């Protein structure tokens, strides 16, 4: 792109640093090398969101270690930038080279959120890449997706060539290695897809046919050629101490959502919360040893200059060596005025002494996620925490000087009743009473309790995948009920837009027929659907009606155990038998113990991909 014109454009847009691409620790290579394989790693949201995604930072450096491959970053341009690009016929470009991704070998998208799908189509269109898979020619890039939503990428089947399932550090490199061999003769696109389909963890949607029953449910998903697996098995990294973890992170010039060093402690989770997709699909648990983490964090701080370190994992307080790690971090980094932050904490096992220790540099509010207001419902979802856990933990926190607490809940959970909503109110008031008890009946001006609720979305590969989502009307009624119940000057209540949650459920449990809906909605203006100010439910309603599909069929309908799911040909290691059993236990309002204490037979330990790791 012409530098002079580029500068003129950047003067007209908000936050021009989103598009510069020459940040500290970014990688640049000679693009005049004709043999260089061009790989666009796209995050279908704004720069500030995508730059905060740890998986993207990992893959960026892993792939760029190969001198023959140039992995560059691409983010969805903000609306003001997109308008200028379209007016001036500027195709979507990669940040590092500022060259059009239309001519790259791979254009890949990370799927972290179902409502980013319209942005994927918009980014492909901005790049001049044919949207439909069948319309692409030999020299067009291969469209590849990965991430948590890729486990059911059926709504995107019309648009993508390849889905990589599971952890990508090794898998992406194997796909690229196969591409290098194919490129020597560059036969047909189908030939390349047939080659990579043999790699464990690679799913090629076009190699499978879907049949439907008269009642619109899926009848079968079967391979349409010889040599293609009946089930595609996810990939995992078996040894977290041996796999590459970046010693550098790209440091942005503007503030991003998570603007800090991120230290990954482990992958997987043993808790077994029945609503949580991540807790199922990322099994088995694999911890990093203490030496690996202490070496890694020192390099990251030295190479970025960040003044905050975030400890990241699905359930950070479950890390076996957390006391030793926090001792090291405090001793090593407090003298440098570098703070330590934690994600939302479990109420049943977190030491407030650790919390006090790691927040010597700067003390922030504490965040806890009880998820449900009553013990009955917490047992249904297998959360494994009690009201006493909340009272004891907040009491300790207030005694140590904390003045604010954030509590996260879900509404619309299976079997939920209005007395469960009353339980949310009661827990919030219990926190206020606990604070008063600690401070001799007084509330300080800076005291606050924040209650946030999100809407339950039934996700694939969870024990609750058979349940329907509450209707929009039911969710709104519950939100309004809580607004009244939590009316107190010391309580702030936030709730998530129920309309976006509705379409999230549609695409989360969707099949291939939704591809036409997505395309029609995009043509009618759908983009940035994850942002409530941009989301327009009416567009999707119209697109669904146009294609003779029903939102309630996907989002609100209960499923039977013998129904074939659109994702049943994907193997995440956790067996369907286990998920059924957990759903039945939920109905009896009983918990399943943490599998660190007792194997619950989820299937991952007996499965080839997880054998010997649990």
The confidence score (pLDDT) of residue 354 equals 79
Residue 481: closest CA among 495, 500, 468: 495
Is 364 a residue whose pLDDT tops 70? no
Residue 155: closest CA among 469, 555, 556: 555
Is 402 a residue whose pLDDT tops 90? no
C-alpha span between 493 and 133 (Å, rounded): 45
Task: Provide the b/e sequence for 434-444 (b: ≥16 CB within 10 Å).
Answer: bbeebeeeeee
**pLDDT band at residue 97 using 50, 70 and 90 as cut-offs:** very high
339: enclosing H helix or E strand: strand 339-341
C-alpha span between 264 and 169 (Å, rounded): 14
C-alpha span between 460 and 277 (Å, rounded): 7
β-partners of residue 411 are 455
Q: What is the mean pLDDT of the chain?
A: 94
C-alpha span between 279 and 461 (Å, rounded): 10
Residue 94: closest CA among 173, 181, 31: 31
pLDDT tens digits, 515-555: 999 999 999 999 999 999 999 999 999 999 999 999 999 99
Is 237 a residue whose pLDDT tops 80? yes
Residue 551: closest CA among 492, 461, 469, 467: 469
For residue 369, give every residue at least 6 positions away whose Cβ sits within 8 Å of its Cβ, in sequence order, or none.
344, 346, 407, 408, 409
Taking a C-beta distance cutoff of 8 angstroms, is the pair 510, 155 a contact? Answer: yes
The confidence score (pLDDT) of residue 344 equals 64
Taking a C-beta distance cutoff of 8 angstroms, is the pair 86, 123 a contact? Answer: no
Tokens representing 534 are 């941009």
CA dihedral 533, 534, 538, 540 (to 10 degrees): -130
End-to-end CA distance of the chain: 51
578: enclosing H helix or E strand: helix 576-587
A 10 A CB-CB count for 135 gives 9
C-alpha span between 235 and 573 (Å, rounded): 10
- For 41, how many CA atoms within 13 A lie in the half-sphere containing its CB? 25
Is 614 a residue whose pLDDT tops 90? no
CA dihedral 535, 538, 543, 546 (to 10 degrees): 180
The confidence score (pLDDT) of residue 419 equals 97
The confidence score (pLDDT) of residue 349 equals 64
Taking a C-beta distance cutoff of 8 angstroms, is the pair 202, 108 a contact? Answer: no
Please identify which residue in the block is written with the tokens 């983010």.
Answer: 75
Tokens representing 375 are 């013990």
Please identify which residue in the block is written with the tokens 């977190």.
Answer: 350
The confidence score (pLDDT) of residue 361 equals 66
The confidence score (pLDDT) of residue 429 equals 96
Q: How many residues does the chain have?
A: 614
Taking a C-beta distance cutoff of 8 angstroms, is the pair 121, 159 a contact? Answer: yes
C-alpha span between 217 and 529 (Å, rounded): 26
C-alpha span between 512 and 153 (Å, rounded): 9
A 10 A CB-CB count for 320 gives 14
The confidence score (pLDDT) of residue 347 equals 74
CA dihedral 396, 400, 402, 407 (to 10 degrees): -20
Q: What is the DSSP letter of 436?
A: H
In this predicted model, which residue has the larger pLDDT, 358 or 553?
553
pLDDT tens digits, 178-222: 999 999 999 999 999 999 999 999 999 999 999 999 999 999 999
C-alpha span between 267 and 240 (Å, rounded): 8
For residue 99, give every residue at least 6 positions away whose Cβ sits within 8 Å of its Cβ, in sequence order, or none.
1, 31, 93
The confidence score (pLDDT) of residue 234 equals 96
The mean per-residue pLDDT over the stretch 419-424 comes to 98
- Burial (CB < 10 A; 0-12, 13-18, 19+), residue 363, is middle
CA 381 to chain centroid, in Å, comes to 20
Q: What is the DSSP letter of 400?
A: T
Taking a C-beta distance cutoff of 8 angstroms, is the pair 286, 254 a contact? Answer: no
Tokens representing 415 are 């079997």
pLDDT tens digits, 114-147: 999 999 999 999 999 999 999 999 999 999 999 9
- Burial (CB < 10 A; 0-12, 13-18, 19+), residue 130, is middle
CA 460 to chain centroid, in Å, comes to 14
Residue 576: closest CA among 466, 456, 457, 458: 466
Task: For the chain, give every residue range classified as CATH 3.40.50.2300.
Answer: 3-233
β-partners of residue 222 are 209
pLDDT tens digits, 3-21: 778 889 999 999 999 999 9
For residue 505, give every residue at least 6 positions away whose Cβ sits within 8 Å of its Cβ, in sequence order, or none.
457, 458, 469, 554, 555, 556
The domain at 3-233 falls in which architecture? 3-Layer(aba) Sandwich (3.40)
The confidence score (pLDDT) of residue 122 equals 98
Q: Return the CATH superfamily for domain 261-496+573-587.
A: Aldolase class I (3.20.20.70)
The confidence score (pLDDT) of residue 355 equals 77
Taking a C-beta distance cutoff of 8 angstroms, is the pair 317, 346 a contact? Answer: yes
Tokens representing 16 are 């021009």
Task: For the chain, give every residue range classified as CATH 3.20.20.70.
Answer: 261-496+573-587
Taking a C-beta distance cutoff of 8 angstroms, is the pair 495, 482 a contact? Answer: yes
The mean per-residue pLDDT over the stretch 332-337 comes to 92
Tokens representing 188 are 């047909």
Strand, helix or coil at 39? strand
Whether omega before 284 lies within 30 degrees of 0, making that bond cis, reads yes
Taking a C-beta distance cutoff of 8 angstroms, is the pair 303, 25 a contact? Answer: yes
């Amino acid at each position: 792109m012409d530098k002079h014109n580029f500068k003129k454009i950047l003067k007209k847009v908000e936050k021009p640093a989103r598009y510069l691409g020459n940040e500290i620790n970014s990688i640049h290579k000679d693009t005049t090398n004709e043999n260089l394989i061009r790989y666009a790693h796209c995050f279908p949201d704004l720069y500030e969101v995508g730059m905060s995604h740890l998986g993207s930072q990992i893959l960026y450096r892993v792939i760029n270690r190969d001198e023959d491959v140039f992995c560059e970053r691409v983010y969805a341009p903000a609306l003001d930038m997109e308008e200028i690009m379209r007016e001036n016929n500027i195709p979507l470009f990669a940040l590092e080279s500022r060259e059009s991704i239309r001519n790259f070998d791979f254009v890949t998208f990370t799927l972290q959120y179902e409502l980013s799908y319209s942005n994927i189509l918009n980014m492909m269109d901005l790049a001049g890449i044919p949207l439909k898979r069948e319309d692409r020619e030999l020299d067009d890039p291969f469209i590849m997706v990965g991430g948590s939503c890729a486990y059911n990428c059926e709504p995107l089947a019309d648009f993508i060539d390849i889905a990589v399932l599971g952890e990508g550090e090794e898998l992406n490199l194997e796909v690229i290695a196969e591409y290098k061999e194919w490129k020597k003769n560059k036969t047909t696109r189908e030939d390349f897809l047939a080659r990579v389909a043999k790699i464990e963890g690679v799913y090629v949607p076009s190699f499978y046919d879907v049949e439907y029953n008269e009642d619109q449910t899926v009848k079968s998903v079967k391979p349409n050629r010889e040599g293609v697996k009946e089930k595609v098995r996810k990939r995992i990294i078996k040894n977290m101490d041996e796999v590459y973890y970046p010693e550098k992170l790209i440091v942005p010039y503007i503030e991003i959502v998570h603007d800090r060093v991120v230290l990954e402690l482990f992958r997987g989770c043993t808790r077994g919360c029945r609503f949580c997709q991540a807790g199922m699909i990322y099994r088995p648990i694999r911890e990093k040893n203490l030496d690996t983490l202490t070496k890694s964090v020192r390099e990251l701080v030295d190479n970025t200059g960040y003044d905050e370190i975030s400890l990241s994992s699905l359930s950070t307080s479950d890390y076996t060596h957390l006391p030793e790690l926090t001792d090291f971090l405090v001793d090593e980094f407090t003298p440098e005025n570098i703070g330590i932050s934690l994600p939302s904490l479990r109420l049943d096992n977190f030491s407030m002494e650790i919390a006090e220790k790691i927040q010597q540099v700067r003390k922030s509010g504490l965040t806890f996620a009880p998820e449900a207001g009553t013990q009955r419902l917490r047992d249904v979802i297998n959360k494994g925490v009690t009201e006493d856990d909340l009272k004891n933990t907040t009491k300790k926190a207030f005694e140590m000087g904390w003045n604010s607490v954030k509590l996260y809940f879900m509404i619309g959970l299976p079997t939920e009743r209005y007395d469960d909503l009353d339980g949310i109110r009661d827990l919030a008031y219990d926190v206020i009473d606990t604070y008063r008890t600690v401070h001799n009946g007084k509330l300080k001006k800076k005291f606050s309790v924040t209650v946030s609720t999100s809407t339950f979305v039934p996700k694939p590969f969870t024990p609750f995948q058979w349940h329907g989502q509450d209707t929009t009307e039911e969710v709104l009624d519950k939100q309004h009920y809580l607004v009244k119940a939590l009316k107190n000057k010391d309580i702030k209540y936030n709730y998530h837009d129920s309309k976006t949650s509705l379409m999230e459920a549609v695409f989360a449990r969707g099949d291939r027929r939704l591809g036409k809906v997505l395309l029609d909605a995009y043509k009618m203006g759908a983009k940035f659907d994850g942002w409530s100010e941009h989301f327009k439910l009416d567009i999707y309603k119209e697109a669904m009606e146009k294609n003779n599909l029903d939102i309630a069929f996907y989002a609100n309908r209960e499923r039977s155990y013998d129904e074939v799911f659109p994702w049943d040909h994907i193997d995440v290691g956790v067996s369907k038998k286990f998920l059924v059993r957990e759903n039945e236990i939920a109905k009896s309002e009983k918990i399943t113990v943490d599998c660190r204490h007792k194997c619950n037979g989820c299937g991952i330990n007996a499965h080839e991909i997880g054998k010997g790791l649990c």
